[in-house]
Amino acid sequence: MASLRCFLRSGKNAMAALQRSGFHSSAPAAVQMMVRDALNQAMDEELERDERVFLLGEEVAQYDGAYKVSRGLWKKYGDQRIIDTPISEMGFTGIAVGAAFAGLRPICEFMTFNFSMQAIDQVINSAAKTCYMSAGFQAVPIVFRGPNGSSAGVAAQHSQCFAAWYAHCPGLKVVSPWNSEDAKGLLKAAIRDDNPVVFMENELMYGVPFEMSEEALSKDFVLPIGKAKIERPGNHVTLVSHSRCVGHCLDAAAVLAKEGIECEVINLRSIRPMDTDAIEASVMKTNHLVTVEGGWPQFGVGAEICAKIMEGPAFNYLDAPVTRVTGVDIPMPYAKILEDNSVPQIKDIIFSIKKTLNV
């Protein structure tokens, strides 16, 4: 089933890659890469490119990363550049920010973003606000990265999505990749960015393979922060999503295509700054908007999109109110049946689209 899902998601990309490369007669050597390996490659390349870049966090060095994202980096770069920290989030996050003040370019890993709450003062008050408070004198080139949102069976304290929390704050950039290309291109961009970037990965995506174009495999493949990607064009309804839910949207779109409903699926890639123009342009074409996220509904990413659409030119093109598909407004339960029904499923997306289209 996983491989079928994989094909569903990557099918479009494979066709595009084939057409782009111009080899219509023989299949190109398509490289499959898992999201974790794309992240690994991004960090490896940036560590090599700039000696000021270093990684710190719990288990990032000798354990190869709690989720093996930093596998091999310690062996290659050593103690000075890949640093195992004690379990001291507030302390090591502050240390990372201080290092960024003084000329280094740290990558600060949170084992999951749930633990970032221990350190959130350093992220917001010491990192995000400093460039502004100092009138541009003190830049803070730092990346905070780690898995965000729900996983599988890890229960309430380990399943929260922090997209809305961090994206609320000026001074931060907040990025949420979906596939391997996103992961690599956006992480490289985040590391090269001179500002604090919150980079939200997803644990369930780490092991999912995607096709990587030749361009994406190159050492200078960088995606712009603040630009969304249209993963699938369509005319009837706009689906806007980020992270893992993008895959669910594409799956829902594939099912609906058989019924003659063509969904335009937008992968936000960046939550802050958000590519409002892309959403508006799409809505002005399709006249219907459905947002899909894993996080809670109140004050969330979908809520923000609704507000933005209301305030902009696309409002007059809506034939129906915007629909938000979100996680259920509860702490994440443990039992599988409950957990499965706490997050948007493909059937919820299909149902919501049909309601929005009134079909």
Partner 1 sequence: MSVLIEYFLNITDLVSHELPHFEGLFSRRSLRRCVSLHCDLHGLEEGPADTAVLTRDQGLSYYRCMQTIRRMELKADQLYKQKIIRGFCHLYDGQEACAAGIEAGIERTDHVITAYRAHAFTYTRGVSVREILAELTGRQGGVAKGKGGSMHMYAPHFYGGNGIVGAQVPLGAGIALACQYQGNGQICVALYGDGAANQGQLFETYNMAALWKLPCVFVCENNRYGMGTSVERAAASTDYYKRGDFIPGLRVDGMDVLCVREATKFAADHCRSGKGPILMELQTYRYHGHSMSDPGVSYRTREEVQEVRSKNDPISLLKERMLSNNMASAEELKEIDGEIRKEVDDAAQFATSDPEPPLDDLCKYIYHNSPPVQVRGTNPWAKLQSVSSS
Quote the tokens at residue 32: 């499959």
CB 173 within 8 A of CB 195: yes
Task: Return the range that interacts with partner 1 (CB under 8 A); candidates 19-27, 80-88, 293-301, 323-331.
Answer: 80-88
Chain position carrying tokens 């093996």: 68
Cα separation, 56 vs 107, whole angstroms? 6
Task: Return the range that interacts with partner 1 (CB under 8 A); candidates 40-48, 138-146, 290-298, 321-329.
Answer: 138-146
Cα separation, 303 vs 313, whole angstroms? 17
Q: Which of 8, 11, 66, 101 binds partner 1 (CB under 8 A)?
A: 101
Q: Which of 31, 34, 95, 318 binds partner 1 (CB under 8 A)?
A: 95
Beta strands 197-201 and 173-175 are parallel
CB 279 within 8 A of CB 315: no
Report the nearest approach of partner 1 to the CB of residue 197 (Å).
10
Concerning whether 59 is annotated as a catalytic residue, the answer is no
Nearer to partner 1, 219 or 227 (CB): 227
Nearer to partner 1, 307 or 359 (CB): 307
Task: Based on the shown chain and the rule CB under 8 A, indicate whether residue 132 belongs to the binding site for partner 1.
Answer: yes
CA distances from 126 to 51, 93, 111, 121, 173 (A): 24, 10, 20, 7, 15
Task: Based on the shown chain and the rule CB under 8 A, indicate whether residue 74 belongs to the binding site for partner 1.
Answer: no
Quote the tokens at residue 270: 């960046």
- By CB under 8 A, the residues from 211 to 250 that bind partner 1 are 226
- Residues 28-67, one symbol each (x = binds partner 1 by CB under 8 A, - = not), give --------------------------x-------------
Task: Return the range that interacts with partner 1 (CB under 8 A); candidates 11-19, 133-141, 153-161, 176-184.
Answer: 133-141
Task: Based on the shown chain and the rule CB under 8 A, indicate whether residue 284 belongs to the binding site for partner 1.
Answer: no
- Choosing from 59, 158, 214, 262, which is the catalytic residue? 158
Q: What are the DSSP calls for 52-101, one per residue?
A: TEEEEETTSSTT--TTSTTTTHHHHH-TTTEEE--S-HHHHHHHHHHHHH
Cα separation, 10 vs 211, whole angstroms? 7
Task: Based on the shown chain and the rule CB under 8 A, indicate whether residue 86 belongs to the binding site for partner 1.
Answer: yes
CB 275 within 8 A of CB 229: no
The torsion region of residue 124 among left (phi > 0), alpha (psi -120 to 50) and beta comes to alpha
Q: Which of 19, 62, 134, 157 binds partner 1 (CB under 8 A)?
A: 134
Task: Based on the shown chain and the rule CB under 8 A, indicate whether residue 126 belongs to the binding site for partner 1.
Answer: yes
- Choosing from 45, 46, 58, 89, which is the catalytic residue? 89
Concerning whether 158 is annotated as a catalytic residue, the answer is yes
- By CB under 8 A, the residues from 287 to 346 that bind partner 1 are 311
Cα separation, 87 vs 84, whole angstroms? 9
Task: Based on the shown chain and the rule CB under 8 A, indicate whether residue 131 belongs to the binding site for partner 1.
Answer: yes
Cα separation, 12 vs 264, whole angstroms? 13
Task: Based on the shown chain and the rule CB under 8 A, indicate whether residue 117 belongs to the binding site for partner 1.
Answer: no
Task: Based on the shown chain and the rule CB under 8 A, indicate whether residue 78 belongs to the binding site for partner 1.
Answer: no
Q: Which residues bind partner 1 (CB under 8 A)?
A: 54, 80, 83, 85-86, 88, 90-104, 121-122, 125-126, 131-141, 170-171, 173, 193-195, 226, 273, 276, 311
Catalytic residue positions?
A: 89, 158
